[in-house]
Amino acid sequence: MFCNGSPVIRGLRMTLSDELPLEVTCRDVKAKLDAGEPLLFLDCREADEQALARIDGTRLVPMSELATRLDELAPFRDKEIVVHCHLGGRSERVAAWLRAQGFAKARTMVGGIDLWSEEIDPSVSRY
Protein backbone atom coordinates (compact mmCIF):
# COMPACT_ATOMS: atom_id res chain seq x y z
CA MET A 1 0.00 0.00 0.00
CA PHE A 2 1.23 3.52 -0.73
CA CYS A 3 0.46 6.91 0.79
CA ASN A 4 1.62 10.03 -1.08
CA GLY A 5 4.04 7.86 -3.06
CA SER A 6 5.58 6.25 0.02
CA PRO A 7 4.88 2.71 1.18
CA VAL A 8 2.75 2.30 4.30
CA ILE A 9 3.69 -0.43 6.78
CA ARG A 10 1.48 -1.09 9.80
CA GLY A 11 -0.15 2.31 9.35
CA LEU A 12 3.12 4.22 9.33
CA ARG A 13 4.35 6.04 6.27
CA MET A 14 7.86 4.92 5.37
CA THR A 15 10.54 6.65 3.36
CA LEU A 16 11.80 4.98 0.19
CA SER A 17 15.42 5.06 1.34
CA ASP A 18 17.17 3.60 4.37
CA GLU A 19 16.08 6.56 6.51
CA LEU A 20 14.00 6.20 9.63
CA PRO A 21 10.27 6.29 8.96
CA LEU A 22 8.91 9.82 9.12
CA GLU A 23 6.20 8.73 11.55
CA VAL A 24 6.56 7.14 14.98
CA THR A 25 3.80 6.02 17.35
CA CYS A 26 3.24 7.40 20.84
CA ARG A 27 3.93 3.96 22.28
CA ASP A 28 7.27 3.75 20.46
CA VAL A 29 8.25 7.21 21.71
CA LYS A 30 7.34 6.24 25.28
CA ALA A 31 9.43 3.05 24.96
CA LYS A 32 12.40 5.07 23.67
CA LEU A 33 12.10 7.52 26.56
CA ASP A 34 11.75 4.72 29.12
CA ALA A 35 14.85 3.02 27.67
CA GLY A 36 16.82 6.25 27.93
CA GLU A 37 17.45 6.46 24.19
CA PRO A 38 18.96 9.81 23.26
CA LEU A 39 16.41 11.93 21.42
CA LEU A 40 15.09 15.46 21.36
CA PHE A 41 11.35 15.50 22.06
CA LEU A 42 10.23 18.72 20.39
CA ASP A 43 6.87 20.43 20.90
CA CYS A 44 6.07 22.59 17.86
CA ARG A 45 2.82 24.02 19.25
CA GLU A 46 2.47 27.61 20.40
CA ALA A 47 3.17 28.65 24.00
CA ASP A 48 -0.52 29.16 24.77
CA GLU A 49 -1.19 25.56 23.73
CA GLN A 50 1.66 24.28 25.88
CA ALA A 51 0.12 26.18 28.81
CA LEU A 52 -3.01 24.00 28.37
CA ALA A 53 -1.19 20.67 28.16
CA ARG A 54 2.38 19.49 28.00
CA ILE A 55 4.41 16.30 27.99
CA ASP A 56 7.21 16.33 30.55
CA GLY A 57 10.65 16.44 28.97
CA THR A 58 9.63 18.18 25.76
CA ARG A 59 11.32 21.29 24.40
CA LEU A 60 9.05 24.02 23.06
CA VAL A 61 10.07 25.48 19.70
CA PRO A 62 6.86 26.72 18.07
CA MET A 63 6.46 26.07 14.37
CA SER A 64 6.07 29.84 13.89
CA GLU A 65 9.58 30.39 15.33
CA LEU A 66 11.37 27.36 13.94
CA ALA A 67 13.16 29.02 11.03
CA THR A 68 14.62 31.73 13.27
CA ARG A 69 15.57 29.25 16.03
CA LEU A 70 17.04 26.50 13.85
CA ASP A 71 20.55 27.11 15.23
CA GLU A 72 19.31 25.91 18.64
CA LEU A 73 18.74 22.48 17.11
CA ALA A 74 22.19 22.19 15.52
CA PRO A 75 23.54 19.91 18.30
CA PHE A 76 20.79 17.42 17.36
CA ARG A 77 21.50 17.33 13.61
CA ASP A 78 22.63 13.68 13.76
CA LYS A 79 20.32 12.59 16.57
CA GLU A 80 16.70 11.51 16.54
CA ILE A 81 14.24 14.38 16.90
CA VAL A 82 10.62 13.47 17.63
CA VAL A 83 8.25 16.36 16.95
CA HIS A 84 4.74 16.57 18.34
CA CYS A 85 1.87 19.01 18.08
CA HIS A 86 -1.81 18.77 19.01
CA LEU A 87 -3.03 16.15 16.51
CA GLY A 88 -0.06 15.48 14.23
CA GLY A 89 -0.50 17.76 11.20
CA ARG A 90 1.93 20.51 12.13
CA SER A 91 4.51 18.10 13.48
CA GLU A 92 4.49 16.19 10.20
CA ARG A 93 5.24 19.41 8.30
CA VAL A 94 7.94 20.38 10.82
CA ALA A 95 9.62 16.96 10.69
CA ALA A 96 9.63 17.00 6.88
CA TRP A 97 11.02 20.55 6.86
CA LEU A 98 13.73 19.59 9.37
CA ARG A 99 14.72 16.67 7.16
CA ALA A 100 15.03 19.06 4.23
CA GLN A 101 17.37 21.18 6.42
CA GLY A 102 19.65 18.19 7.04
CA PHE A 103 18.09 16.71 10.18
CA ALA A 104 17.71 13.24 8.67
CA LYS A 105 16.37 11.64 11.85
CA ALA A 106 13.50 14.09 12.43
CA ARG A 107 10.19 12.29 12.94
CA THR A 108 6.58 13.13 13.70
CA MET A 109 4.64 11.55 16.55
CA VAL A 110 1.39 10.26 15.08
CA GLY A 111 -1.70 11.62 16.82
CA GLY A 112 0.18 14.30 18.73
CA ILE A 113 -0.36 15.15 22.37
CA ASP A 114 -4.03 14.24 22.04
CA LEU A 115 -3.24 10.58 21.33
CA TRP A 116 -0.43 10.65 23.92
CA SER A 117 -3.07 11.60 26.51
CA GLU A 118 -5.32 8.73 25.39
CA GLU A 119 -2.68 6.01 25.09
CA ILE A 120 0.18 6.95 27.41
CA ASP A 121 -0.64 9.52 30.08
CA PRO A 122 -4.27 10.42 30.82
CA SER A 123 -3.07 13.10 33.26
CA VAL A 124 -2.11 15.19 30.22
CA SER A 125 -5.08 17.46 29.54
CA ARG A 126 -6.95 17.13 26.27
CA TYR A 127 -8.19 20.22 24.50
Q: Which residues of the chain have pLDDT under 50?
A: 1-17
**pLDDT computed for residue 18 by the predictor:** 59
pLDDT tens figures, 18-28: 578 999 999 99
Domain boundaries, the chain: 15-119
Overall fold of domain 15-119: Oxidized Rhodanese; domain 1 (3.40.250)
Q: pTM to 2 decimals? A: 0.84
Angle at 14 between CA 56 and CA 113, to 5 degrees: 20
Measured CA to CA in angstroms, residue 96 lies from 6, 15, 39, 81, 119 at distances of 13, 11, 17, 11, 25
